[in-house]
Structure 1
Amino acid sequence: MNQYEGGVALLEDAALTRAAQAGEVAALGLLLERHRAGMRAVALSILGPGPDVDDVLQDAAVTALRRVGDVRDPAAVGAWLRMIVRNTSRSLVRGAVPYRPIDDLRLPSTDPGPEQWLERHALRDWIWEAMEELSPALRLPMVLRHFSTGVTSYERIAEAVGVPVGTVRSRLSQGRAKLAAALAATADAPHGDTARRVRASSAEARETLAAAENGRFGALLTERWSPEIALLRGNEPVGGRSVLARGMECDLEAGVRQRLAHTVAGRSLAVWEMDLLSPADDPDHCPPSVAWVMTLDDAGRPYRLRLLHPRPVAALQALAPV
């Protein structure tokens, strides 16, 4: 490619990126097609031939959809897309490292102005609206994979959903394919304010932890959570409100505290990712973190809860009826 052709390509990339940032999914599709060969080459250089390459490219497409508003130099979008693939591939190789391919994807340029900020948030709200159009079986793996920070590996998602890893791969593939159709179907629909939902859910998480430390966790469950709340292990119910209350009481009596680290919030799902703080005299008492994965009822109340740790917690398992 000569210098002139290279300059034209950069201008075309910039135009497509700005269109994608304005919410044109077709423009993002064209960008991905233009850079598919380079993205695949990066994945192959790290992973070698195999099905993981296609998984990484699919993940990269969804990440690009979510984060295209963060591209500060539209002409450099090709480097940004390859960075997504590189980070995702390395996370897959490391295995235990959480899948977070978005930490260092910002390219240097001027800060976005108010118009770009509004476009970015409008696109994010649209994506969440489309997510809500997916079936529950597809929505939960997609949200955990692309919006959480710690429940992102196939193995962790399989634990959360209660299905084999192969089924997780299949559902993610189906979810990504259906997301494009859902985006088209919701293009003209009103989109909820995702930032407002996240703020409200974060406030609720902090209020829940404060209530627990004040001895009101059980009362809060009665006031704010569905009367049909059930603790699940995979897809199997293992207890209700009383099990949750006893588990929290046991943790507090042992000196364990939780601190909110990250919130994911939609109309039908919420995820509270907590740091777990062990007592000073027993620093290895508990795993470093826990994710509260909650399915919400039509009133926005949690009615199904999955608690996910890096490793099983014997105390919680002991509380659950056999």
Structure 2
Amino acid sequence: MRDREAADLREDAGLVRLAQRGDATALALLLERHAPGMRAVALALLGPGPDADDMTQEAALTALRRIGDVRDPEAVGPWLRMIVRNACRSLLRGQARTEPVGDPAPPATADADPERWLERSALRDWVWEAVDQLSPTLRMPLVLRHFSRTVTSYEDIARACGTPVGTVRSRLSQARARLGDLLTDLTAAAHGDAAARTAASRLEARDTLEAAELGRFGSFTARRWSPDVDLYLGGRRVGDREALVRGMECDLADGVRQRPYHIVAGRSLAVWEMELISPPDDPEHCPPAVAWLLTLDEGGRVRRVRLHHSRPLRPDQARLPEAADLLM
């Protein structure tokens, strides 16, 4: 028995080391090996039902991002079960917030552990390739829940998407299950460069805001975005590109400015989270933040804009990206 346990630990360690080098198949096998133990923890804390399934799936997504943090590869089983336990306890405490599965931070310099950065990039591309294959109705809530920083609670996602909270829960459950299947299917496939897409979207956000402050928001969006852009607030269409232009011009005339602090992007969806800066003489003029939820057409142009005003930001969130961020 001890020999078998020792062999299992050695196999775990080997899979962890492969996964940390960007081997998607190894990570998929690792999660499959420990799925029963992870689910057992969720069942013990939450009992049978959809919440146990959701927290097991949510923990697996967290593990995808944090596999590089494992210091003792032979102890990966307890580490995975700890993630499930923490997710369940957060749910029991009523904490809707989840840790984003965003891009890992790049090394500060080109010489700062570039191999580790490249390894994590491979896993990120694998995840985003699967996310991009979800249907639009499943993709949006999953990206907000796991990749954004402020639009993460069920209530915020419901408001942003214009759907009931119960529908958000159902779609997230379906999205996580479908994502698990897609990740398995894509382990041996070539993956796109998610970092390049996010970097391009960051530059697009910067250029968009610069054009707006120069009075060129209308001409910029006419040239770079789809001619059939729709503007939504929640689930309600409130206008076209001209309505968005009028809103931007009114905000600028009132002295409101926007600064991007977190951006993620796939092939068909981008999320621009912006700090809203009220004019000095009217500090309560606008909410503290807004998320631009952008649906992209096949050519990568903005086809639909949903605006969601977010809750107040933590001090560490509200900042302009550093130069290194723009290279992620």
Check conservation: 2:57, 2:177, Cα contact below 8 A.
no
What corresponds to 1:100 in structure 2?
Answer: 99
Between 61-70 and 152-161, the greater mean CA deviation after superposition: 61-70
1:161 maps onto 2:164 in alignment:
no
Post-superposition Cα deviations, 1:176-218, rounded to whole Å, max 9, x if no partner, equal 1111222233333321111111111111111111111111111
What corresponds to 1:229 in structure 2?
Answer: 229
Query: What secondary structure is seen at the aligned counterpart in 1 of 2:310?
Result: coil
Query: What secondary structure is seen at the aligned counterpart in 1 of 2:274?
Result: strand
Pair 1:220–1:91, CA change in 2 (3 A): farther
Structure 2 CA distance for aligned equivalents of residues 15 and 34 of structure 1: 19
What corresponds to 1:108 in structure 2?
Answer: none
What corresponds to 2:195 in structure 1?
Answer: 195
1:29 maps onto 2:28 in alignment:
no
- What's the TM-score, normalizing by structure 2? 0.80
Structure 2 CA distance for aligned equivalents of residues 269 and 287 of structure 1: 24
Offset at residue 295 of structure 1 (A): 0.3
Counterparts of 1:174-193 in structure 2, within 5 Å, are 174-193=174-193
Structure 2 CA distance for aligned equivalents of residues 35 and 75 of structure 1: 16
Contiguous gaps of at least 5 residues in structure 2:
105-111, 312-328
Contiguous gaps of at least 5 residues in structure 1:
106-111, 312-322
Check conservation: 2:100, 2:146, Cα contact below 8 A.
no
Structural RMSD (CA) = 3.0
Offset at residue 9 of structure 1 (A): 5.8
Structure 1 CA distance for aligned equivalents of residues 31 and 89 of structure 2: 24
- Residue type at the aligned position of 1:16: L
What corresponds to 1:77 in structure 2?
Answer: 76
Counterparts of 1:48-67 in structure 2, within 5 Å, are 51-67=50-66
Post-superposition Cα deviations, 1:290-315, rounded to whole Å, max 9, x if no partner, equal 1000000011011101000137xxxx
Check conservation: 2:100, 2:148, Cα contact below 8 A.
no
What corresponds to 1:13 in structure 2?
Answer: 12
Counterparts of 1:1-322 in structure 2, within 5 Å, are 10-21=9-20, 22-24=23-25, 25-38=28-41, 41=44, 44=45, 51-85=50-84, 87-89=86-88, 91-92=90-91, 98-100=97-99, 114-310=114-310
Check conservation: 1:40, 1:57, Cα contact below 8 A.
no
Structure 1 CA distance for aligned equivalents of residues 69 and 52 of structure 2: 24
Pair 1:7–1:26, CA change in 2 (3 A): closer
Pair 1:97–1:155, CA change in 2 (3 A): closer
Task: Give me the identity figure in percent.
Answer: 60
Structure 2 CA distance for aligned equivalents of residues 215 and 94 of structure 1: 47
Pair 1:81–1:255, CA change in 2 (3 A): farther
Post-superposition Cα deviations, 1:126-181, rounded to whole Å, max 9, x if no partner, equal 11111122111111111111111111111122222222111111111111111122
Structure 2 CA distance for aligned equivalents of residues 114 and 279 of structure 1: 42
Structure 2 CA distance for aligned equivalents of residues 69 and 295 of structure 1: 31
- Residue type at the aligned position of 2:24: G
Structure 1 CA distance for aligned equivalents of residues 113 and 34 of structure 2: 23
